Structure 1
Amino acid sequence: MQAAQKNTFEDGQVLLINKPLEWTSFDVVRKIRNTLKIKKVGHAGTLDPLATGMLILCTGKFTKRINEYMAQEKEYTGTFTFGAVTPTYDLESEPQDFKDHSSITTEQLQTIAAQFTGELMQVPPMHSAIKKDGKRVYELARKGQTIELDPRRVVISAFEFTKIELPVVHFRVVCSTGTYIRSLANDVGKAAGCGAYLSSLCRTRIGEFTLDRSMTMDEALEWIAKEKETMDNGK
Structure 2
Amino acid sequence: MKPLDRPPLLHVSVQESLKSYIADNQLGPGSALPPEGFLAQQLGVSRNSVREAIKALESVGILETRRGIGVFVKAFSFAPLLDNLAYGLGGALREVEEVLEIRRVLEVGLIAKTVALIGEDDIEELRQTVEQMRQAAERNQNFAAEDQRFHNLLFRCQDNRMLTSLIDVFWLAFYKASDFVNLANIDPMATWQDHYDIYAAVAARDVEAARSRLDQHYDGIARLLATRKTAPTPD
TM over 0.5: no
TM-score, length-normalised on structure 1?
0.24
Structure (1/2) with the larger helix percentage: 2
- Choose between structure 1 and 2 for higher RCO, CA contacts under 8 A separated by at least 6 residues: 1
TM-score, length-normalised on structure 2?
0.24
